[in-house]
Structure formats: C-alpha cells, structure tokens
Structure 1
C-alpha cells in the first residue's frame, strides 16, 4: 500500500474531535513501506484542514460538506500536497488522486475529483512566493516562515484579522482572537506558523551511557540524518520510528523538545535536594532532573494515573536510571509523613496544550474556550497540593505546554498571592517554525 492509500484509510477512520489519531496511524503504518510520507500526509491534512477546505470552497467552488467523505479526504490529501509540498509535481498528485478515486470503480467519482483538482490548479499562480511580498496577501496561503502558495483569486479573509489567523492556521477563531489580543499580529502569526509546522524530533543523549558525539556517530553509521542542537540535544532529520533507531533498546536517548527542557533548567536541581515530580508520567522531566542534578539528591516521581506511572517505570528501566523513587499517588501522603516535605515540587500540569498544536493535532478540534476555567481549576488544585508538600523556604515549579495567559501568568499570580509565595522567575516560550523549530510552553518558579 502506498502512502496516499494508507493516509486515506487513516483519515477515513479518525475523528480528531473524538479520538487521538496516533493509534490508528500506527496500525496503518505497518501496512506501508512509505511510513514517513504517510505520517506527513495524515498529520499535515489534520493540522491544516480548515485552510485546505477554504481552498476547496473559494478556489474549487465546491462545498466540503456536500462531498462524499472518501472523495473529500482524497481531495484534502491532494490539496495538502499541492499547497504544502511544492516539491511534488502537480500532474503527479492530480493523477494519483484520480487513480485512487477510480480504484473505487466509479468513473463518475473519478471525474468529480479530476474536475475539482483541475479547477483548483487552474487558479494556481506560484506554489512558493514570499510572504509579505508584492502579491495580494488575500491570495496567499502561508505555508512556512517566509513563503506561501499564491492563487489568482481572493482566498483569505482580511490579513491581520482573527478570521485570517483562524483560516491560515486552522485554529478555533476564539483562540486566534486571543493570540492577536495578547501577542499582536506579528507574534500571533509566528505562533500560527509554529502550530502548523512539521515539528522536528529531538532526542536527549542519556549521559549516563553515552555522550552526544558518540550517539551522533552511531546514528550516522546507521544512515540516520541527525545534527547537534545548541541545547545539547540531537535533531533528527529523518527519524522514522523512534523505537527502531539504533541505541533505543540500549537506552542511549530519550525524546524531548527544547521547550520542554527549559522547565528543569529553570530551577537547576542542586546537591542534597529532595525533589518531587508531582505529575511525572511519562517521565521526560524526571529523567532530565536525574541528568541535570549536581551532587547527591533524592527524586520522587508520582502520577495519579497508574497506567502512565507504569510507562514511567518502563522508560526509567530502558534508560537504566535507578535514582528515582516511584510512588503511587495514593501512597504519597504516607511517604511525606515518613520522610518529610520536599525542597522542590515540580507541577507539570495538564493543560490546554496550545503550545504543542503541531504535535497534538487533535487539540485544535477539541479545545473550546469554555474548557479553560475547568482546566485552571484543576491546575490550581495541583498547586494547592504542591503547597502542602514543599518545606518552608522551598520551591514550587509550575509548568504547562500551554501559551494561554489564564493557565499561566494569571493563575500563578493568583496562587502566589493566595499562598504567600514569591514568584522568582517566569518564562513563556512561544511555538516557532524558525530553524531550529520548537514547541511553546510556560514555567514559573515560586518560593514558599
């Protein structure tokens, strides 16, 4: 099965508003040798579906809701390639789409797909024009930090508006309006690009077993394209399946985005400290604490989800990291009674995930503005729990992979005032498609 066929099967099975795409995608990847291409087609369509449907409506003069679902998804794949994959020849993507429609043994359906795609390509002017150049920006669909796809018809809403942001980056309109109000157009535009990019895969060397240079050499010898990242990581240019990379089974690395690494760097675990990771699973920040801490220390990891806590244990075992006490959430109070409160409590709280939309492609379909108060209540509850677990003079480190002010600055300010804490530092990282790309997130350090 080629990549387009496999991608079509995934898109036919998944409803991103109701279920995660990755399990369905993983099952389908076992049926194609073009795994990376299939993954890009599926996730690319889901990241950009609103923009793709805008092309169908405004350029193709068709209504997506009236197109049979198989033909609609087939057309979406072709338009994704047309707009976002300029290296793919136009004739090839049209012929492939028509061929897949014809495989359903319906000449009428194949004719519809052919007519629709021919109509769209007839209005195509240039698949790569500079953003902000002389072309009318209402006719340019942004596809990268500096380029867009130019048509000869007005496609986009008024540039600079929330409607424009919502279409260009397939965002809920309320979220686009929020970003514009808080960040201004230029930064909001960059957030949009960062939220629809093809996110790089970064790995952290397990320094207990290998140094970065040796791991790079190992990857290169296996034909894996990789390069060093300024933060001490390695960026994979052609990752494939992570669990099949050389060194995975030996525990030589773990996956972590640069934005996630900022959290532990914000509080510099020191000698003689006792550190609690309160929402630890699947273990990325717990592992980083072990890597970054200086001198003897004690790390405790817990999570309210026992299944995810088991994944944390498995990750620690694969990496050969034994310096963590994994405690079930139901046993945490007894542990504190026996050992006393902690010097530092890390709260990596469940959140809206608006900083990781490029990776969590379903979020843009599920998240509603009315969800934020519920999320904030849960985050405040976790911080209250952390307040009872930290010693006087100790630190609470709060982090999210959200870029929403309600979940971050506003919540931390209110909690610090209520709990008589001092905010020592805050850092908001916005998602970026600029090289080297990264996710978004927030971290604050408070002193009790």
Structure 2
C-alpha cells in the first residue's frame, strides 16, 4: 500500500474543503485501521504536520523555487509540502528516499513532465535546509513564518496577550499532544481503569488539577483499546471537565447542555447527577445528536434526553426549567489550535465578529430556560477577548444575571483575581490545558 499516495490524496481533498481537517484525517485513519502501528503513525504525522506547518513549508519552498507554492498546480504543491515536511521534521527518513518518492508521486498523478522540477527543488532544499534564513522572529511576520500562523492572527495574540505570552501560545500550538481522558466513574474507579490500561500496555500519567483525569501517552488507536470500547473512559480536555465542575451540579438538578455535541460535558453532568435529576442535551443537527447518542451508549448512559434544537430559537416548553444550564458555545476555537491543525487558517476577522453576535443571540435565548436562582455556565474553547471577557461583561450588563465566584468549584491552583469575580481564562502553554474560558452566573430573583 502506497502510504504517500494516501497522504497526497487526503491533502488534495482538504485543499478543496473548507475546514474540518481533524475529522477528515480521523476518517482516513479509521479507514486504514488495519495498518500496523508504524504505518498509521507515519500517515498521521505527515498529514497533521503538513497541514499544521503549511505557512513555514511554503516559505521554505518559495526560498528555493522559481515557481512560488501558491502558483503551483495543486498536486505538485501538496507533493512539495508533504516532502518538505519530511525533510525538515523527520530525520529518520533519508532525504534521497523523500525526493525519490515525491518524483514517483508526480509521475503517478500524471505530471511526468514536472518530475525534474520536483526532484531539483527538493534536492536543493535538502542540501540547503540548514542555511535557509528566517525573518526576524521578534516581529509578527517572522513569528507567522516560524509558528505557521497567519500574520493577522499573530498580531491579534500580541495585542491581546503581549509578545511573550503570544510566543508561548504559538509554541504550544505546535507541540505533540497526548490524550487527556476522564474516568467514567459510573462504570469504574481510578484503580480499576489503571489496571485495565496496564493490561493493555498503555502508558499513562496523572493529569493536573482533577483526580479523575489521566494523560495517555502514545496511543495509536482508541478503538483498539478494550477499556475505551467498554466505556471505562472518555477523551476530554481538562478545560472541558472544569466547565462541569464550575456548574456545581447537585443530585436531583435539572441540567441543560446546549450546543452539547459530542457530549463530553453532558456525560460528565450525568456522573454528577448520580442517577438522579434530569439531563437535556441539545444540538442543532441529527449528525451532532448521533455523536452524543453514540458516546452515551458507549459510556453506559441511557437516561438522557437528546433533543434537536437551534439554540437561537426559543422553545417555550423549556422556559424556566433548568437548575443549571451549560452554554459551551460555538467559537473561534483559538484555544485548541494544537488539536485542530487547520483552525487558524479557517478563521478571519469577519468570522470573529459574526461569532460574537451568534454567541449573544444564543445567550439571550437560552437564558430564558433557567429558573430564578439557577446557574448559567458560559464557556468557550477560545482565548479571544471579544468572545470571552467582553461577553462576560455583556451578560452582566444585558441579561438578568449576576456573576458568582468560581473559587468554591475549581482547584486551588487555578484560583485568581478573575476567578473570584466569576471567570477563568485558561491559556495554552501557561496552564496545563487547552485554552478555555469558563464563567459562572446566577439568575436574579
């Protein structure tokens, strides 16, 4: 099986699509689940690395090619990108093999006339890789190239977080990610899961902050783990777990989770309810609801109300029902760039503005589902202030809610001035988590 051909065809598919690289790559890995660990690792690394470092790869190509990457035919452009990624970041593969396989791919895809061009440029890059000069890394353009992030977005991070924190965030976005998991306490305990993982040869370490979270090291395929198939754990980032902690869910509560897919916080809420109360998980499409349903069934939860509903449209039958409402809203996702390789390429300033409007439309609507004295948790997986702190202030000024301290609900290590005021911004590379914003409000009587 020609792994590089699979990579090339996937990259070409991604170039035609807008967004969703993570889902497409997962589908490819699932399709070729029969491959051995080494082959799957190669597929995953080259696909994700080529997508993630696109700006830097194009800069390297442009430094040695008379035809700039953006002017190349799509097939040749993707062959060049995936090959330069291997030359730059995969020392275990001989440069001659990378160049030879690239030439074969060009011929196989009907570009025999460009085999000489591909070979020549790649061998020049291979020879001169260590001598390629980069622009000043202290300026936004240089950071854009070094960290493969659009320059406008680099400037936004610098403006909002400062130069040093911006650099930390961007560096973190390119680091290898292990899997953070939450133990399904409805099915097992920590000792039981650790024993099950040990039998399967899985290496793990403690996650920070929460006793029911672990970090799995070098997991190749979740579906191959019996502990996963048996519903003993679910994949969930620490920030997402802390959202549910901040909700302070009590037994017998009625809990609403709007924009709930894939259902991590809903399942965590069910753990907290401990077989009592009621949970309603809402999302906008049948596909999203199916993802919630699949997770619920795997984790052994059957007493869950899964409802198709647009969060911007009022449904009177739910008015004043919720003791707790979790609104983890659609956002730019800038806190999870390290997990969603292409998210930085699929956002722009206009989309940021439209997301803020959507978030406020949802908040205005779903706030009516909460009882007087009930709890609203507003959260996002971004680090963009307009979507986070500005919305926090907007809720206080425009909706019948008062902010309440997060400190009684979150670990001591995370308590700070803002958490006592009602919100916490977790930052990638600073906290041991993805970027998450969490805030807590009580509905006024």
The TM-score with structure 2 as length reference comes to 0.85
Match of 1:427 among 424, 427, 432: 424
Q: Secondary structure at the match of 1:359?
A: coil
Matching of residues 59-138 of structure 1 within 5 Å: 59=64, 62-101=67-106, 103=108, 109-125=114-130
- Residues 342 and 38 of structure 1: is their aligned pair in 2 closer, same or farther, counting only changes over 3 Å? same
Check if 1:154 corresponds to 2:124.
no
Query: 2:247 touches 2:326 (CA, 8 Å); kept in 1?
Result: no
Q: CA deviation at 1:61?
A: 5.7
CA distance in 2, matches of 1:84, 1:54: 15
CA distance in 1, matches of 2:153, 2:245: 29
Query: 2:253 touches 2:273 (CA, 8 Å); kept in 1?
Result: no
Q: Which residue of 2 aligns with 1:243?
A: 223
Check if 1:443 corresponds to 2:438.
yes
- Residues 19 and 404 of structure 1: is their aligned pair in 2 closer, same or farther, counting only changes over 3 Å? closer
Q: Secondary structure at the match of 2:255?
A: strand
Q: CA deviation at 1:178?
A: 0.8
Query: 1:352 touches 1:375 (CA, 8 Å); kept in 2?
Result: yes
CA distance in 2, matches of 1:198, 1:53: 21
CA distance in 2, matches of 1:271, 1:18: 43
CA distance in 2, matches of 1:348, 1:291: 18
Check if 1:192 corresponds to 2:166.
no
Match of 1:36 among 14, 38, 41: 41
**C-alpha offsets along residues 254-286 of structure 1, whole Å, 9 cap, x if unaligned?**
111222222112233223432211221221101
- Relative to its length, the structure with more helix (as a share) is 2
Q: Secondary structure at the match of 1:403?
A: coil
Question: Which residues of structure 2 form unaligned runs of 5+?
Answer: 405-421
Q: Which residue of 2 aligns with 1:321?
A: 301
**C-alpha offsets along residues 11-66 of structure 1, whole Å, 9 cap, x if unaligned?**
12222662533554355443572223212211111111011100111255651133
Q: Which residue of 2 aligns with 1:51?
A: 56
**C-alpha offsets along residues 220-268 of structure 1, whole Å, 9 cap, x if unaligned?**
3334444342333232323233233213332222111222222112233
Query: 1:212 touches 1:234 (CA, 8 Å); kept in 2?
Result: no
Q: Which residue of 1 aligns with 2:11?
A: 11
- Residues 26 and 399 of structure 1: is their aligned pair in 2 closer, same or farther, counting only changes over 3 Å? closer
Q: Secondary structure at the match of 1:248?
A: helix
CA distance in 2, matches of 1:35, 1:75: 21
Q: Which residue of 1 aligns with 2:191?
A: 213
CA distance in 2, matches of 1:411, 1:48: 32
Q: CA deviation at 1:445?
A: 0.7
- Residues 217 and 6 of structure 1: is their aligned pair in 2 closer, same or farther, counting only changes over 3 Å? farther
Query: 1:194 touches 1:438 (CA, 8 Å); kept in 2?
Result: no
- Residues 216 and 273 of structure 1: is their aligned pair in 2 closer, same or farther, counting only changes over 3 Å? same
Provide the aligned C-alpha RMSD in A: 2.7
Query: 2:336 touches 2:382 (CA, 8 Å); kept in 1?
Result: yes
Q: Secondary structure at the match of 2:354?
A: helix
- Residues 284 and 98 of structure 1: is their aligned pair in 2 closer, same or farther, counting only changes over 3 Å? same
**C-alpha offsets along residues 382-438 of structure 1, whole Å, 9 cap, x if unaligned?**
111232111222221101111111111001201211124222221111223x8x964
- Residues 6 and 17 of structure 1: is their aligned pair in 2 closer, same or farther, counting only changes over 3 Å? closer
Q: Secondary structure at the match of 1:447?
A: strand
Query: 2:241 touches 2:265 (CA, 8 Å); kept in 1?
Result: yes
Match of 2:322 among 342, 354, 360: 342
Query: 1:313 touches 1:326 (CA, 8 Å); kept in 2?
Result: yes
Query: 1:16 touches 1:362 (CA, 8 Å); kept in 2?
Result: no
Matching of residues 176-325 of structure 1 within 5 Å: 176-230=154-208, 231=210, 232-293=212-273, 296-325=276-305
CA distance in 2, matches of 1:174, 1:418: 31
Q: CA deviation at 1:376?
A: 1.0
Query: 1:206 touches 1:319 (CA, 8 Å); kept in 2?
Result: yes
Question: Which residues of structure 1 form unaligned runs of 5+?
Answer: 126-151
Query: 1:274 touches 1:297 (CA, 8 Å); kept in 2?
Result: yes
- Residues 316 and 84 of structure 1: is their aligned pair in 2 closer, same or farther, counting only changes over 3 Å? same
CA distance in 2, matches of 1:8, 1:223: 33
Structure 1 segments, 4+ long, off by >6 Å, are none
- Residues 113 and 438 of structure 1: is their aligned pair in 2 closer, same or farther, counting only changes over 3 Å? farther
CA distance in 2, matches of 1:105, 1:417: 61
Q: CA deviation at 1:68?
A: 3.1
Query: 2:134 touches 2:142 (CA, 8 Å); kept in 1?
Result: no
Query: 1:216 touches 1:234 (CA, 8 Å); kept in 2?
Result: no
CA distance in 1, matches of 2:198, 2:271: 24
CA distance in 2, matches of 1:89, 1:184: 40
Q: Which residue of 1 aligns with 2:416?
A: none
